[in-house]
Amino acid sequence: MLVTMDDARREIAGGGLFIRDNVIEAVGPAANLPETADAVLDLRDHVVLPGLINTHHHLYQSLTRVIAQDADLFTWLRTLYPIWANLTDEAIYVSTLTGLAELALSGCTTSSDHLYIFPNDCTLDSQIRAAADVGVRFHAARGSMSLGESQGGLPPDRVTEDEAFILRDSRRLIETYHDAARHAMTRVVLAPCSPFSVTPDLMRESAALARAYGVRLHTHLAETIEEEAFCLETFGQRPVPYVESLGWTGDDVWHAHCVHMSAGEIDLFGRTGTGVAHCPSSNMRLASGICHVLDLRRAGAPVGLGVDGSASNDSGHLLAEARQAMLLQRVAPDRYLSEPPGGRGGFAGTAAAMSAREALEIATRGGAAVLGRDDVGYLAPGMSADFIALNLNRIDYAGAWHDPTAAVLFCGPRGVDLSVINGRVVVAEGRLTTVDLDAHLPRHNALSRAMINGE
């Protein structure tokens, strides 16, 4: 079954793709495609999907999983900041390779990452190098923290940076790596970390710099009630009005989490085309709440999926995240009532179901819209040659062949058997072709132990 996710949402039994170089040239029944090619992939008994798109992650956190297991966000951060202060540039490269490999094996072909902590010799350059080595399409978000504890922020001063340096480095990275062309493998994003770790000046200046270069903006927003209290006390505004006042809404902006939003704030995102990275597993793990995805989509806001950091998930399985999104909306009230005093919307007690196809749409087309891409997210002529395949000849799918599209989520997510990114086979027979993980993982685990133990 070929699931195109194209404008007509075609699902073609016996379908196929014809690819030239790194671009799809034809899509349709296999009988209607050219009979010969340099390479032919026989995917009978497979379901073929567009590559999945991850819109929010912190790849370095694969070094620090299962720490602060029962903490809320602020406690979790305060526990981990001192450990992350031990990061090195080698650790950035190694953790990025690990995290992107994990994503690729789960069906992700395009990922953004939000690296916002740069102690010691850490650089974003090493992330970009690792992404090229894995072969994943990559949006490298130059994050930052400048508001330390001594200035009323959450992070310790020793993991913050000077704002003038942040802006200079942001400019350097854009000029060195950003590729605005269609089918680009590398793009750069500017991403001050959060309202509680950067100043309003850095938010404004980052937005101005990004728009001068035509790159996108990203940050965390409205993740927890504690963040809301911080913004009210520090800025006199709830998180969404605060970032709106700084120019952080629009179709070149996306925010991660967006759990605690009023009906009016959701409408604002819809009117302005402001995007949302929905991170269901992380929001559950940290007890942050449930993002009202269906309301956001009805309002017209782009919504994609994010696995979030591997220390707050603690996985990087994007297909599993799509399943989680589908199931979580089935227990989430999603109909707004009138606004109570204080501005946060109430919710009716009825739940609306998200279908498997809607969850897959969010994981593909939704992610592409959030990242501002018109070349990935569905399978059609002129689109990038990014697709994945899962073999239905597994016990997991026994009895579900009547609807293989829904089966990839309902029957429990597995790793993909095949992943093609930019016309290149990156996963074959369930194994990564670009990185020797058996040789790589011992180094990752050694760096992890040294960081956690402060060695």
Whether the upstream peptide bond of residue 125 has omega within 30° of 0, thus cis, is: no
d(CA 59, CA 316): 9
SS3 10: coil
Annotated domain spans of the chain = 2-49+378-432, 52-371
Residues near 212 by Cβ (< 8 Å), separated by ≥ 6?
none
Residue 54 contacts residue 306 (beta carbons within 8 Å): yes
Calpha distance 165→300 (Å, rounded): 37
Token duo for residue 346: 């109430």
Encode burial over 10-37: b for 16+ CB neighbours within 10 A, e otherwise.
bbbeebbbbbeeebbeebbeeeeeeeee
Q: Where are the beta strands (DSSP E) in 301-454?
A: 303-305, 387-391, 418-421, 424-428, 431-432
Quick one: tokens of 283? 């929001």
Residue with tokens 């490298």: 140
Burial 397-433 (b: 16+ CB within 10 A, else e): beeeeeebbbbbbebebbbbbbbbbbbeebbeeeebe
52-371 architecture in CATH? Alpha-Beta Barrel (3.20)
Q: Structure tokens of 96?
A: 């990025």
pLDDT of residue 49: 98
pLDDT tens for the 455 residues of the chain, in order? 999 999 999 999 999 999 999 999 999 999 999 988 999 999 999 999 999 999 999 999 999 999 999 999 999 999 999 999 999 999 999 999 999 999 999 999 999 999 999 999 999 999 999 999 999 999 999 999 999 999 999 999 999 999 999 999 999 999 999 999 999 999 999 999 999 999 999 999 999 999 999 999 999 999 999 999 999 999 999 999 999 999 999 999 999 999 999 999 999 999 999 999 999 999 999 999 999 999 999 999 999 999 999 999 999 999 999 999 999 998 875 444 334 334 444 444 444 589 999 999 999 999 999 999 999 999 999 999 999 999 999 999 999 999 999 999 999 888 999 999 999 999 999 999 999 999 999 999 999 999 999 87
Contact between 195 and 230 (Cβ < 8 Å):
yes
Superfamily of domain 2-49+378-432, CATH level 4: Urease, subunit C, domain 1 (2.30.40.10)
State pLDDT tens for residues 123-175: 999 999 999 999 999 999 999 999 999 999 999 999 999 999 999 999 999 99
Q: What's the rounded Cα separation, in Å, for the pair 45 and 404?
A: 10
pLDDT in tens, 21-64: 999 999 999 999 998 899 999 999 999 999 999 999 999 999 99
Q: How is the chain split among helix, strand and coil, in percent rounded to 5? A: 40, 20, 40
3-state secondary structure of 63: helix
Residue 327 in tokens: 């199931």
Overall pTM surpassing 0.85 (yes/no): yes
In this structure, the number of other CB atoms found within 10 A of the CB of residue 299 comes to 17
Q: Look-up: residue for tokens 């093609």?
A: 420
- Count of residues making up the chain: 455
CB neighbour class for 199 (10 Å; exposed up to 12, middle 13-18, buried from 19)? middle
Q: What is residue 333's predicted lDDT score, i.e. its pLDDT? A: 56
Residue 212 buriedness (CB in 10 A; 0-12 / 13-18 / 19+):
exposed
* Phi/psi-derived region of residue 286, left when phi > 0, alpha when psi is between -120 and 50, beta in every other case: alpha
Beta strands in 62-120 (DSSP E): 108-115
